[in-house]
Structure 1
Amino acid sequence: MKVLVLGLPRTGTQSLADALTHIGFGPVYHMREVGRNNHQALWIEAIEDKFEGKGRPWGREEFERILAGYEGVADYPPAIFPEELMAAYPEAAVILTVRDEDSWMASMESTLWHLYQSRPADDPSPMNQLSRKYHEHCWGGDLPKYGKEAFRKHNELVREAAKGRKFLEFGVGQGWEKLCEFLGVEVPEGVKWPRSDDWVDYKKMVDKERKEKEGRDKRI
């Protein structure tokens, strides 16, 4: 393992994962990999072991059941386990992706939180069950009320746990120069920073729904 990207979702983790892969620090395990590899049950097990005491805390042996062959991690579910991953992979550099908390909250509410609320609790799909686990344990099942506090606490936890490590706090939009300097590699010539976001179409749909609702409310 070479790089642990431990910022929360919606802080540029997907673009950063793609950027890391482009400069030779891949493959990177991102949320996209969960469904592709049918890893939902393993991550639910990890969450239950951490928060519900159903098993022992995870170390390198347990994480390697999921992460073997990857050179980096980013986004959820890995970011739920910052201290555990840093302990399991002491050789890895640590990157904390950060963002203004108001814009982070707006982005979360129009993506992960909206999807979570739109699905019935008894939906048996593995991804829905994983989603319910992390929403429950990361902000008590109430992102609007507890999300910003959880965001701040998470970032401080990573900063504290990463003391003495090769560490970078990376803001959205800082681009190739900052990242490549940190990792000691050349900036790729003529390559634009990736603008990856699997949620683009979903956010457009949510925004359309919101505008339609506002229009109906005005007519009432």
Structure 2
Amino acid sequence: MATSGTEPSDGLKVLHAGLFRMGTRSMAKAYRILGFKTFHALDEPSRVDWVGLEKAAEATWPSVPNARPRPPFTRDDWNELWGNEYDAVCDTSAPFTLELFRAYPDAKVVIVQRDFDSWWPSFRSEIIDNLFTPFFEFQIFLAWHLVGFRAGHAMRKLVFGFFKAGSKTEIEAHGRETYDRFFQELRDNVPPERLLEYKMDSGWEPLCKFLGKDVPDVPFPISNDRKEHAENVGGRRRKVQLAVSKTIALGIVSVMAVGASWWFLV
């Protein structure tokens, strides 16, 4: 897990409300520079509590396909997933921002909203089109049945739940409505003094002022743009293909199923 420092957290302080493919990795780096212990699933996906994330998705959206009945998450549940270890959360936490704010009403919420028309093609091609393919479903099957790895199940339930969908077609049909509803509900429910609408080209000043931090003497981090993300995905795909080939040859396919289940994350 990605942390900055080793002291235990006393609860979440920063809820980053930017969806996948909206600069989450840059913002995670920025929060760490400012001294926050920050969760970002891409940093060490093999150490993420995917079972806990899957439970959160089922508790938040009971209608997701194959969901097991669960009561709504409490602050204790969110603490177990993130709050006991981190100060700030990004990426896979974003769809739960409103629920998290209700559990942590003293937290500050940072919205980063990319224009829908530029964001949706990127999200669709690099997240949806990878999560909902026969190849990925096969990898999910291997990862779970051979080594008990739930990343694929968790991500699919998270995406289905967030978009109130039961299929890839429904996700695409609900895309714009979900995007608009997500940001509007935050504006309607988070008090203005606890909400920052941050622009990625704004630099340190507005973020530091909002979070009560001194402006650091380093450039604002910019990473994981479309080219870098494509290179990361391509590299992971090649590693997965090589791993699968070696696994088949050695007869130990379970070892490689883990790595194959998370290459799509942003």
How many residues are paired up? 202
In structure 1, stretches of 5+ residues that fail to align are: 206-220
Quote how far apart the aligned CAs of 1:185 are. Answer: 2.0
Structure 2 residue 138 is matched with structure 1 residue 149: no
Structure 2 residue 62 is matched with structure 1 residue 47: no
**2:16–2:109 Cα contact (<8 Å) kept:** yes
Quote how far apart the aligned CAs of 1:95 are. Answer: 0.8
Structure 2 residue 199 is matched with structure 1 residue 193: no
**Which of 49, 66, 90 is equivalent to 2:81?**
66
Question: What SS does the corresponding residue of 2:30 show, helix, strand or coil?
Answer: helix
Alpha-carbon spacing, 1:174–1:164, altered in 2? closer, same or farther (3 Å)? closer
- Deviations, residues 34-68 of structure 1 (Å, cap 9, x unaligned): 72424111111111112117111112100111211
Quote how far apart the aligned CAs of 1:200 are. Answer: 3.8
Alpha-carbon spacing, 1:95–1:38, altered in 2? closer, same or farther (3 Å)? closer
Alpha-carbon spacing, 1:204–1:148, altered in 2? closer, same or farther (3 Å)? farther
**Which of 14, 39, 42 is equivalent to 1:29?**
39
- Deviations, residues 191-213 of structure 1 (Å, cap 9, x unaligned): 222122272415679xxxxxxxx
Moved more, 137-146 or 125-134: 137-146
**1:11–1:172 Cα contact (<8 Å) kept:** no
Quote how far apart the aligned CAs of 1:156 are. Answer: 0.6
| Identity score, percent | 28
Alpha-carbon spacing, 1:33–1:160, altered in 2? closer, same or farther (3 Å)? farther
CA distance in 2, matches of 1:138, 1:93: 21
Quote how far apart the aligned CAs of 1:73 are. Answer: 0.7
In structure 2, stretches of 5+ residues that fail to align are: 1-11, 64-68, 144-149, 236-266
Question: Considering only aligned residues, what root-mean-square deviation do their CA atoms show, in Å?
Answer: 2.2
TM-score by length of 2: 0.69
Alpha-carbon spacing, 1:166–1:91, altered in 2? closer, same or farther (3 Å)? same
CA distance in 2, matches of 1:175, 1:103: 21
